[in-house]
Structure 1
């Protein structure tokens, strides 16, 4: 089912936001001085338009620091008064929503652990009915695009039109350089299915390590994201949560100044003409690829028929291992990455096996 969302762009939220927004502040509000000092420091960047801080922290293990609670909202408002920045925090249930509204929080966000549960999302959506407050929704922990879209739809159906999404990466059992694997293809598909939804990237949670935050931030901009949420702490080494992924405010300001903002379109006529030539070449090549893949799958079906008629198994591991090695060797010689080719070959093999299985299960007509 095609999503149908009714949303307002961030620049029209009435908070003085630009078309590109940086949201920054500590992972957790720890005390008033920490919140206000961090806010004043990050506000030195003209790109930082919103102050963030966690008030309630959903933690994996009990007895960890789980946030200061409602008093933290008073500190956030003190920081807002000192800097003029709108304030944002995470809500995980209806009570959180009510407390935030009482304290005039400007933006609410749903965390990844909430988005993964439709019951939680619906509870929050019900608490938001009749309210005009911006809400941003993080992707679920697991790479499930439909869960992400479903959460956005639930909030939107509650009457919230000031709505955006946050890409914060996805959990993985594989060891990677990231805390949460970016899987850029998922937010890209969200943009394709829901072009009206603006997406903010959260490099802090993707990285889990402050050293690679600038790389992820620029990558997000290059992928036409509409903003960044980056954690910053006045003394990250003693932070009570996620110390490794928080930047000092001075580092945040310096990084923001170095970011290269890009536009999705250009008014340069020569650029447009050459771009159209390149795109036409790609269109022709894509059509040829699709035609050749169709031919390949037809041959796979014939192989399936031959195996069926001769009582031979579909999967022949030695043959497939040989195919992978030869294809990867060829791809490497042509400058294609192993990662791309492994994914491509796996998809092609899966479809080939499916076609042969269908043939195997079909009735032979004599």
Structure 2
């Protein structure tokens, strides 16, 4: 099911000076000199379309640097006047919105810590009523697609049609190389439900480390995301916030040069014909997969009835362990990733448990 929001195409409100679209600037505006120097170098690359900087910084714990505050808006306007770059800032409440709009900020974004709270998003939406300003909404900290969509809907209902989403990854207890798990499937789901919605990627917050940014940025572009928000600082080693994930303007320029830009479609008749043939093969295989899954579930139901009639529990841990070991080993031979195989097996096992539970709990009347 697709959702209907009144959204303008990105090209109608964003002047993209270079492909891909890149929004860049320091994580935090620290001093006027730092911001202006960074802005000049970003402008000189010729590859940045929008200057960003955090001036109100929601921090996890009190006592950390929480942004320079409203004076940062003056610095951003000086940078805009000198470089010609539009400016973007994060807003987290109605006061931020009013000050940013009064200062002539070109683009607002709502951060992950705000998106997670519908009360905060509604406060921001109410403050935006009657204003024709572009707004970008980052995904919530936790992996909740409904919260993300809800925030976009609230802003859209306030009359904001220049709307975009920013995929910045999700918090997870699992420790990996990334600061925030990409969980690409959630971004893809959002794109499927709202195909007209521009989605940008924030590899800086996903990675938490500048070394990983090119990999994540390239994957985002390969998934047809429409731009990148990458943090850049004139000297990341002395940055007051998130030093490890910021790059220099020179490094950003080099990174952008290394991106491979691919088309969403091809008009080459040979490509279209061959792709159609391969997709037809996939459709046939998918049909076979679902047919076999249906056959498997019928046997699962028979097993459930047999267990019920013999007073045997649904879950047989030893059998589940056996399936996991055998099927993951077989999947490995077929060059399937172990994580993928395990996820597929877990979904099938979960549905098998559900079916057997329904059979176990069926009343005599239902059984006839």
Which moves more between the two structures, 196-205 or 13-22?
13-22
What CA RMSD, in Å, does the superposition of the two structures yield over aligned residues? 1.2
1:29 lines up with 2:22 in the alignment:
no
In the other structure, the counterpart of 1:267 is 267
Equivalent residue for 1:235? 235
Structure 2 match to 1:4: 4
The alpha-carbon deviation at position 363 of structure 1 amounts to 2.2
CA distance in 1, matches of 2:301, 2:41: 64
In 2, Cα distance between equivalents of 1:216 and 1:14: 23
1:276 deviation in Å?
Answer: 0.7
- Secondary structure at the residue paired with 1:179? coil
Q: Measured at CA, do residues 244 and 198 of structure 1 come closer, stay the same or move farther in structure 2, by a change above 3 Å?
A: same
Tell whether the 8 Å contact from 1:133 to 1:160 is kept in structure 2 after alignment. yes
Q: 1:2 to 1:221 in 2, by over 3 A?
A: closer
Contact 1:3 1:149 in 2 (8 A): no
Tell me what 1:244 maps to: 244
Write the deviation string for residues 185-225 of structure 1: whole angstroms up to 9, x where unpaired: 00001010000101000000000000000000100000100
**Number of corresponding residues:** 366
Residue 321 (structure 2) aligns with: 321
Match of 2:286? Answer: 286
Distance in 1, matches of 2:18 and 2:108, equals 18
Residue by residue over 1:228-263, the C-alpha shift from the partner in whole angstroms, topping out at 9 and shown as x without a partner, is: 000000010110000000001110011011111111
Report SS of the residue matched to 2:49: strand
- State the match for 1:302 in structure 2: 302
The 3 A distance-change label for structure 1 pair 18 and 192 is: farther
TM-score (norm 1): 0.98
Counterpart CA distance in 1 for 2:48 and 2:147 is 30
- Is the 8 Å Cα contact of residues 88 and 108 (structure 2) preserved in structure 1? yes
Equivalent in the alignment of 2:82: 82
Deviation string, structure 1 residues 106-163 (Cα, Å, up to 9, x no partner): 0000000000000000000000000000000000001100100000000000000000
Query: CA shift at 1:287, angstroms?
Result: 1.1
Q: Which residue pairs with 2:351 in the alignment? A: 351
Give unpaired runs (5+ residues) of structure 2: none
Deviation (angstroms), 1:2: 4.8
SS in 2 for 1:43: helix
Residue in structure 1 matched with residue 106 of structure 2 by the alignment: 106
Does structure 1 retain, via aligned residues, the 8 Å contact 2:182–2:206? yes
Contact 2:125–2:155 (CA under 8 A) maintained in structure 1 = yes
| 1:46 Cα offset (Å) | 3.1
Q: Flag as ranges the 4+ runs of structure 1 deviating above 6 A.
A: none
Q: How does 1:172-187 map to 2 (within 5 A)?
A: 172-187=172-187
Query: Could you tell me how far 1:3 is from its partner in structure 2?
Result: 2.3
Q: Which runs of 5+ in 1 are unaligned?
A: none
CA–CA distance in 2 between the matches of 1:22 and 1:249?
12
- TM-score between both structures, scaled by the size of structure 2: 0.97
Q: Is the 8 A contact 2:2 2:192 kept in 1?
A: no
Structure 2 Cα separation of the partners of residues 149 and 271 of structure 1? 35
CA distance in 1, matches of 2:129, 2:13: 17
